[in-house]
């Protein structure tokens, strides 16, 4: 789920650590993903899960010389029924969730290599903190793997291990694993994140259909 513009000159002798920038762009792909609301996936309490048409955005990983492109979900429907709230989440009601304001070259201060997704099972681990509880982490493996959800995080579509490996490669880190390389980048203040301003969709107007709940959804 990624494409690459790669320049071998970005790898320097002596393992000099490159600065790596992750940009969550406002450029949409031609894909449409079918997501569900979270933490409550049944808005009208009829025993079925609603699916919403959700735009897919381009994400760029880059150093001075090279750029690698990925796809991600940056806005998702959020529903926490005020009458029967999930108390793990403080926000009540309906929200078109996701970071919409611009963030420019913010230094990443935390990487959690053990993070596991809570809305849907994934064998991928790890999360890059943007700010507060807003993270970059694994998402669906393909745009056809419907039913993922989020409370405002950016979910990378595809092989999240490869996403981390791409960061490691662009960083020129000498560490053995991508998790070690990400921690090295964070400790060196050389991992940065930018978000391009974008308007979240009105998900209530993008209802696709209701489906019976299946195992794993």
Indicate the helix (H) or strand (E) that contains 73: strand 67-73
pLDDT band at 214 (very low <50, low <70, confident <90, very high): low
Pairing of strands 93-97, 38-39: unpaired
Mark 178-207 as b/e (b = at least 16 C-beta within 10 Å): bbebbbbbbeeebbbbbbbebebbebeebe
Q: What is the pLDDT of residue 165?
A: 98
* Residue 135 pLDDT exceeds 60: yes
Q: What is the pLDDT of residue 13?
A: 46
Question: What's the rounded Cα separation, in Å, for the pair 139 and 143?
Answer: 10
146-205 per-position pLDDT tens digit: 999 999 999 999 999 999 999 999 999 999 999 999 999 999 999 999 999 999 999 999
Question: What's the predicted TM-score (pTM) here?
Answer: 0.90
DSSP 55: E
Q: What is the pLDDT of residue 213?
A: 75
**DSSP secondary structure letters along 103-138:** EEEEEP--EETT---SSS--S---EEEEETTEEEEE
How high is the mean pLDDT of the chain? 92
Q: What is the pLDDT of residue 7?
A: 57
């Amino acid at each position: 789920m990624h494409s690459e513009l790669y320049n071998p000159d970005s790898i320097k002798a002596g393992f000099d650590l490159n600065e790596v920038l992750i940009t969550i762009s406002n450029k949409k792909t031609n894909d449409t993903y079918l997501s569900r609301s979270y933490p409550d996936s049944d808005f009208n309490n009829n025993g079925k899960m609603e699916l919403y048409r959700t735009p897919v955005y381009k994400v760029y990983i880059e150093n001075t010389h090279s750029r690698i492109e990925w796809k991600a979900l940056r806005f998702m429907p959020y529903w926490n029924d005020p009458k029967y709230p999930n108390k793990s989440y403080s926000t009540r009601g309906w929200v078109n969730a996701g970071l919409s304001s611009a963030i420019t070259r913010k230094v990443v201060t935390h990487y959690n290599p053990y993070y596991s997704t809570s809305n849907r099972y994934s064998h991928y681990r790890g999360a890059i903190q943007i700010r507060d509880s807003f993270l970059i982490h694994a998402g669906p493996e393909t745009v056809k793997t419907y039913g993922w959800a989020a409370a405002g995080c950016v979910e990378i579509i595809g092989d999240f291990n490869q996403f981390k490996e791409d960061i490691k490669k662009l960083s020129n880190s000498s560490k053995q694993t991508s998790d070690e390389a990400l921690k090295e980048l964070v400790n060196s203040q050389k991992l940065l994140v930018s978000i391009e301003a974008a308007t979240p969709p009105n998900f209530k107007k993008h209802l696709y259909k209701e489906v019976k709940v299946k195992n794993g959804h």
